[in-house]
Chain A
Amino acid sequence: MKQLFSKDKWKYAFYTVSHPADGYYEIRHRERGSVPIAVLLVILFSISFSINRISASFIVNDIDPLTINLLSELVSVLLLYLLFCVGNWSITCLMNGEGRLKDIAIALGYAMIPMIVCMNIGTIFSHAVAADEGAFYYMIIGIGIAYGVFMMLVGVMEVHNYTLGKTLITIFLTFVAIFIIIFVVLLVMDLINQVIGFFYSIYQELIFRA
């Protein structure tokens, strides 16, 4: 654990932000990434996303704070993260991807850094702008998201040693895989419900007959 959270690993996460291609390559081949840090970054992203919508200035924020639930948003972001990792992994396994599940998780997690930074800067900055300067706020958020998406793309590309075209195709297929996973999970849940219902009705029958 100590090793996974070491100062070196943290430093390397930020090195990846400034040098995405090199950074992700070494994550795959020299074990310089850390899954716990990646998960922590995803959690941080979820929290800063929620905080941005709760406490960004009234001028740029039209969201009813009552509709935001930090905990349920955290759960859904983590679930989406898990789904994407598993979906991408299962697709790239079939398509000669070199990355392991661990590498995919790190690649996605580290891509959250620009988003976390820009969301929080944006939240603070929003309290300084007036309505006609709102464009700056949206620019900050936009840059964060754009760079985050770019990092994700480079991450998937480097980790699996793909070309850009192949990366885009696998990402599209990843979404298909996510839908299949969700579908299967729902199916299984329904099935389990029916089995439980069946046994419950047998139990009730026995109780009433006895």
Chain B
Amino acid sequence: MKKINRINKIAAALLAAIVFLLVPAEAVQAEELPYDTYNYNYREDFVITPAAYVPNGSVTGLSVGTTDFKEPQDFCVAPDGLVYVADTGNNRIVVLNHEMTEMVREISTFDRNGTADTFNAPYGVCVSENMELYVADSNNRRVVVLTPEGEFVKIVDNPQSEILEENFEFIPLKVTVDYADRVYVIAKNAFEGILVFESNGEFTGYFGTIEVKITLWEKFWRRLASKEERSKSQLYIPTEFTGIDVDDGGFIYASNIDSEGVQAVRRLNPQGKDVIQKGENGNVGGDILTGMYGDYSGPSQITDVVYRDKGIYSLLDRRRGRIFTYDKEGNLLYIFGGLGSQEGTFNVPVAIESIDGEIIVLDAYYGAILRFKETRYGSLINEAVGLRFDGDETEAIEKWQEVLRLDGNNELANTGIGKAYLTAGNNRLAMEYLELGMNRKYYSIAWKRYRNELLAKNMNMIMTVVVVLIIAWVVYRKLRKKKKGKADGEGGLI
């Protein structure tokens, strides 16, 4: 008996060991990540999800065969796949190959009509569709346009207009270019919006001005305050834009720091009107739950935006080092990233780009580009959202079903499947999934159709029951009258 017990024990121990060895192999990925991947559900609660992106190494100046980057502020992926880094502290532009393994060339001087010229704190960089390199040369107060090889093309500087203040100093920070070679510049202290230059270098005006919101309460206090007090109190100036990108259709994505945490990105049409779509919760401002106290709390401070593909765009938050990804409709897809000193975390993240399905982030403090590659979960969501963007909802259903296998509570996946069932005409199943996805609008549509279906199917029965009830009621009344009449002794009269 004892022997058997012992054998049992050994077997149990072995089994436990096997389980122990097997299980972590699956879970290891999530546990080793220096950050959580999460999302907000319909109730605006915090929900941890599987990792969408995982760290995939980093790129420093040394690793590409040059001196280290010194406070780089911006980078950009050119249409031909090369990566241009504005190495602000070293006054140069570093061009990396597509894999970011080595430096292709370094641009620190350029030949301007016979004289050598240099950069002074190049803050922003962008390569246009026509393969021209735009550098926001901040301390020289100009935007320098070069060929990718570093040949001088032109200079955009010194905007002249009545709408500019008299002593306005043009200090360009970020720059981007659309398909018509219009130059969009975010300049320091230009609170009125983004400066737009025509391709010939002429300043045409401000673009996408953020309106200042003054609450009724503030107005009330201002009315009460004396003139001196009013001059002492801070001015209500709009927030500045922080980052800028342009999508395939020429719409400008511009990020800004929103002290309310509601809208940190704008999608500006050619007239400069904000046409961004907000999701169910009306929030495109990063974190919804932001904490109350301490340095780590407060609304997200979005420093840069990247338009990725099929309407998907990502925002970079410098307060908590997080990356928020939204789809075209303003739904949050996934949130990941964090501050820290482990690999895959940031200290001062300044710019974000996407390259081949990777998300890359430039950190000014580490002087490094941090790479993140998509996991199966992340790529499934991206593909499904992409398919929906293309109008291929039935194709997307398979992707969403796989997403559900990894993350059963994913509301977008449930909604996606529900909508696909709705188009396929399966209203009963559509209702089930749409309720899980908390999509009231489409649930209502599904229910309406299902209700009609039910009515049509059971019309005969319903009508029969109604007719029978009416007859029964008439008969009952007649019988009652008779009875009553008899009781009153007048039965013979009826």
Interface set of A (CB-CB < 8 Å, partner B): 58-59, 64, 128, 130-132
Contact = CB atoms under 8 A, between A and B. Distances in A.
B398 interface: no
B453 to A, nearest CB: 13
A59 B43 contact: no
12 contacts: A58-B443, A59-B443, A59-B444, A59-B447, A64-B43, A130-B444, A130-B445, A130-B447, A130-B448, A130-B451, A131-B440, A131-B441
A132 B443 CA distance: 12
A59 B447 CA distance: 9
Contacts of B447: 59, 130
A58 B447 CA distance: 11
Nearest to B434: A58
Given A58-B440, A58-B443, A132-B444, 12 more contacts: A58-B435, A59-B440, A59-B444, A59-B447, A64-B43, A130-B444, A130-B445, A130-B447, A130-B448, A130-B451, A131-B441, A131-B444
Question: B interface, by DSSP: helix, strand, loop or mixed?
Answer: helix
Interface string B430-469: 0000010000110111011001000000000000000000
A132 B447 CA distance: 12
B20 to A, nearest CB: 35
B135 to A, nearest CB: 51
Interface in B359-389: none
Nearest to A134: B444
A130 to B, nearest CB: 4
A64 B445 CA distance: 22
A64 B41 CA distance: 12
* Most chain A CB neighbours (cut-off 10 Å) among B441, B445, B448: B448
A83 B435 CA distance: 40
Nearest to B443: A58
Bin the interface of chain B by size: 10 to 19
A128 B454 CA distance: 11
A58 B448 CA distance: 13
Contacts of A128: 451
A130 B454 CA distance: 14
A136 to B, nearest CB: 14
A59 B435 CA distance: 9
B341 to A, nearest CB: 38
A64 B42 CA distance: 10
Contacts of A132: 444
Interface in B34-50: 43
A58 B105 CA distance: 60
Contacts of A131: 440-441, 444
Contacts of B441: 131
Nearest to A128: B451
A132 B444 CA distance: 8
Contacts of A59: 440, 443-444, 447
Most A CB contacts (10 A, CB to CB) among B435, B440, B441, B445 go to B440
A155 B185 CA distance: 71
A132 B451 CA distance: 14
Nearest to A60: B440
A64 to B, nearest CB: 5
Contacts of B435: 58
B300 to A, nearest CB: 25
A59 B451 CA distance: 14
A131 B448 CA distance: 9
A117 to B, nearest CB: 22
Interface string B412-443: 00000000000000000000000100001101
Nearest to A57: B447
A64 B448 CA distance: 23
A132 to B, nearest CB: 8
Contacts of B43: 64
Contacts of B448: 130
A122 B214 CA distance: 42
B447 to A, nearest CB: 6
B316 to A, nearest CB: 32
A130 B452 CA distance: 11
Nearest to B45: A64
A131 B434 CA distance: 14
Listed from nearest, the 8 A-B pairs whose CB atoms lie closest are: A131-B444, A130-B448, A130-B444, A59-B444, A58-B435, A64-B43, A130-B447, A58-B443
A59 B434 CA distance: 11
A66 to B, nearest CB: 9
**Interface hub of A59, A64, A132 (most chain B Cβ within 10 A):** A59
A132 B448 CA distance: 10
B419 to A, nearest CB: 16
A124 to B, nearest CB: 15
Contacts of A58: 435, 440, 443
Contacts of A64: 43
Nearest to A130: B448
Nearest to B449: A130
B411 to A, nearest CB: 13
A93 to B, nearest CB: 43
Greatest chain A CB density within 10 A among B441, B444, B445 is at B444
A127 B387 CA distance: 33
Nearest to A59: B444
B427 to A, nearest CB: 12
Nearest to A61: B440
A59 B167 CA distance: 58
A130 B435 CA distance: 13
A18 to B, nearest CB: 22
Contacts of B440: 58-59, 131
Nearest to B447: A130
A132 B445 CA distance: 10
A50 B474 CA distance: 40
A65 to B, nearest CB: 11
A147 B445 CA distance: 33
A52 B226 CA distance: 54
A130 B444 CA distance: 5
Nearest to A66: B43
B462 to A, nearest CB: 13
B280 to A, nearest CB: 11
B159 to A, nearest CB: 50
Contacts of B451: 128, 130
B53 to A, nearest CB: 30
A65 B139 CA distance: 58
